[in-house]
Amino acid sequence: MSIKEADRVLPVTAGESNATREKRSVVQPSRIKQYEPLVLGTVSVVLALTAWQLVANARIYSILFLPGPWDVAQAFVKLFQTDDIWLDIGTSGMEMGIGYGMAIGVGLVLGMLMGWYTRFQYALDPFVNFFYSTPRIVLIPLFILWWGIEMPPKIAVIFLGALFPIIINTMAGVRNTEAALLRVARSFGASDALIFRRVVLPGSVPFILTGFRLGIGHALTGVVVAELIAAKHGVGQIIAIAGQTFQTPKMLAGVILIACTGMLLTTILQRIENRFQTWRPQIR
Amino acid sequence: MYDRSAKLSAKGVVIEYWLQRSRTLFTAVQGVDLTVRPGELLAIVGPSGCGKTTFLNAVDGLIPIAGGNLTLDGREITRPGPDRAMVFQQPGLLPWRTVLGNVIFGVEAQGTMSKKESIARAKHQIELVGLAGFEDAYPLELSGGMQQRVNLARALLTDPEMLLLDEPFAALDAQTREMMQLELLKIWSQTRKTALFITHDIKEAIYLSDRVIVFTRRPGRVKDEVEIKLSRPRDLRVKRDPQFLTYEDRIWESIQEELAVPAERLIAGVPAA
Q: Are B18 and B26 in contact (CB under 8 A)?
A: yes
Could you tell me the pLDDT band of residue A62, with boundaries at 50, 70 and 90?
confident
ipTM over 0.90: no
pLDDT digits (tens, 9 = 90+) for A148-175: 888 899 999 999 999 999 999 999 999 9
Average pLDDT over residues A26-42: 81
The strand pairing partners of B166, in sequence order, are B198
Give B-chain residues touching A196 at CB under 8 angstroms. none
Q: Report the phi/psi class of residue A235: left, alpha or beta, with left for phi > 0 and alpha for psi in -120 to 50.
A: alpha
Is residue A231 helix, strand or coil?
coil
Mutant choice from B78, B97, B138, B167 vs A, greatest count of A C-beta within 10 A: B138
pLDDT at res. A156: 93
pLDDT at res. B261: 63
B105 with A188: Cβ contact below 8 A: yes
For chain A, what are the domain ranges?
A: 3-58, 69-275
Closest approach of B106 to chain A, Cα-based (Å): 6
Low-confidence residues of chain B, pLDDT below 70?
1-4, 261-273
DSSP 8-state secondary structure symbol assigned to residue A178:
-
DSSP 8-state secondary structure symbol assigned to residue B220:
B
The minimal CB distance from B140 to the residues A199, A276, A280 is found for: A280
A181 with B60: Cβ contact below 8 A: no
Topology of the domain covering A69-275: MetI-like fold (1.10.3720)
Tell me the backbone φ, ψ of residue B30, rounded to 5 degrees: -130, 100
AA identity, residue B208: L
What is the reported pTM? 0.81
Percent of chain B with pLDDT over 70: 94
CA pair distance B41, B234, nearest whole angstrom: 14
The strand pairing partners of B24, in sequence order, are B19
Q: Are strands B211-215 and B222-227 parallel, antiparallel or unpaired?
A: antiparallel
Q: Does pLDDT of A33 surpass 80?
A: no
pLDDT at res. B262: 57
pLDDT digits (tens, 9 = 90+) for A72-118: 899 999 988 888 889 999 999 999 999 999 999 999 999 999 999 99
pLDDT digits (tens, 9 = 90+) for A204-261: 998 999 999 999 989 998 888 888 888 888 898 899 988 899 888 899 999 999 999 9
Q: Is the CB of A280 inside 8 Å of chain B's CB atoms?
A: yes
pLDDT digits (tens, 9 = 90+) for B87-119: 999 999 999 999 999 999 999 999 988 999 999
The strand pairing partners of B13, in sequence order, are B32
pLDDT at res. B105: 96
CA neighbor of B177 nearest in space, from B199, B192, B196: B199
Q: Does pLDDT of A24 surpass 90?
A: no
CA pair distance B171, A275, nearest whole angstrom: 32
CA pair distance A149, A152, nearest whole angstrom: 8
B109 with A188: Cβ contact below 8 A: yes
Q: Does pLDDT of A45 surpass 90?
A: yes
Give A-chain residues touching B80 at CB under 8 angstroms. 186-189
Q: Are B250 and B226 in contact (CB under 8 A)?
A: yes
pLDDT, mean over chain A:
85
DSSP 8-state secondary structure symbol assigned to residue B166:
E
Q: Are B198 and B167 in contact (CB under 8 A)?
A: yes
Closest approach of B164 to chain A, Cα-based (Å): 11
B140 with A203: Cβ contact below 8 A: no
pLDDT at res. A280: 67
Average pLDDT over residues A191-210: 92
CA pair distance A160, B235, nearest whole angstrom: 67
